[in-house]
Structure 1
């Protein structure tokens, strides 16, 4: 696997900005659990190089959900031959996320999972995204009633439920630190009403 960044000086296409389309189901996964990187395997055609900038898109409709930088490239080799089963591998480290508030990318023409992107178009997208909002402290809680014979067993049962049900079924409660009255419940990465009396 070659990772020499000097290779970038010999490229002929002149492109160092790219559009990458999230694989099916990955957008939902990114909204549920924090990831530092996006790894793509098997994307054919021209490939970004180390250090290239990437606009990460979700499809249908086309939306910009993150910006990133290529931090690893190469081939994913199976443990055993044949060599023709080697698949290209691309790792993108996120530099800016906006999975909850994406911006429209309808004006882009994307051909396949990895598409060269004009630097001007990339910058226009990044400008729409804007700077990241300021970070603040949040309190996050997950409360489950557990029947058990001891505190230790209750904790084990708790983690078993968390692993089995996860963020797709269990509501997590979140509120700004110091303002518990602003508590909200989230399921599937979105706010969810937990008060049956308020249901229609």
Structure 2
């Protein structure tokens, strides 16, 4: 099996951070990889990072084996090799460089817990139905770049955190 670094655009990386899934498609990459090839997923941002490990599925997609979206890894050696070969797309990586990154991956607590996620908006409306329609319009228009989502473990409301663009965001104006 070959080892690859697949560099995705900043826009695709942001989308992964916001709407992460078990797999992703990277335009123009699927034909380069054989089923089972191992992949380092690299964000093509100002300071590139490895945000996941994946395997090619043989149908043009990549399935995460390790998701590092919560704690991406800096990868200067991989980034330098990728930059020599161009920007976005698939780049062959030698076994040693791949293993160096793979060994830095720490096991993540895989125990699933229930999280409550809330978006609260004060809506002025004449009826509940109108309020709901206005709510969904605000959600669509503001989106994750402007609208904070509040997250906390079920049963521990005091642990509530606000997230904007998939990252923790302080919403207390007195703490700025």
TM-score relative to the length of structure 2: 0.85
Query: Displacement of 1:70 after TM fit?
Result: 0.9
| Partner residue, 2:28 | 42
Q: Find the residue that maps to 2:77 and give its secondary structure.
A: coil
Which residue in 2 is equivalent to 1:152? 129
CA distance in 1, matches of 2:58, 2:141: 32
| C-alpha distance in 2 between matches for 1:72 and 1:161 | 40
1:18 alignment counterpart:
4
Residue 90 of structure 2 corresponds to residue 105 of structure 1: no
Q: Distance in 2 between matches of 1:197 and 1:61?
A: 31
Shift of 1:196: 2.0
Secondary structure of the 1:57 match is: strand
- Deviation, 1:103, is 1.2
Q: 1:61 touches 1:106 (CA, 8 Å); kept in 2?
A: no
Alignment match, 2:94 = 118
CA RMSD in angstroms comes to 2.0
Whether 1:134 aligns to 2:110 is yes
Partner of 1:54: 39
1:50 and 1:123 mapped to 2: Cα distance? 19
The structure with more radius of gyration? 1
Report the 3-state secondary structure (helix = DSSP H, G, I; strand = E; otherwise coil) of the residue aligned with 1:178. coil
* Unaligned residue ranges in structure 2 (runs of 5+): none
1:65-122, Cα deviation, whole Å (9 max, x unpaired)? 101111144xxxxxxxxxxxxxxxx321222111231112101211232111223322
Task: Summarize deviations over 1:15-63 as a string: whole Å, max 9, x none.
Answer: 522110112322222112223322122359x811112111101233232
Gap change, CA 1:103 and 1:120, over 3 Å in 2: same
Secondary structure at the aligned position of 1:107 is classed as: helix
The count of aligned residue pairs is 168
State which drifts further: 119-128 or 173-182: 119-128
Could you tell me the TM-score, scaled by structure 1's length?
0.76
Cα distance change, pair 193–92 in 1 and its aligned pair in 2 (3 A): same
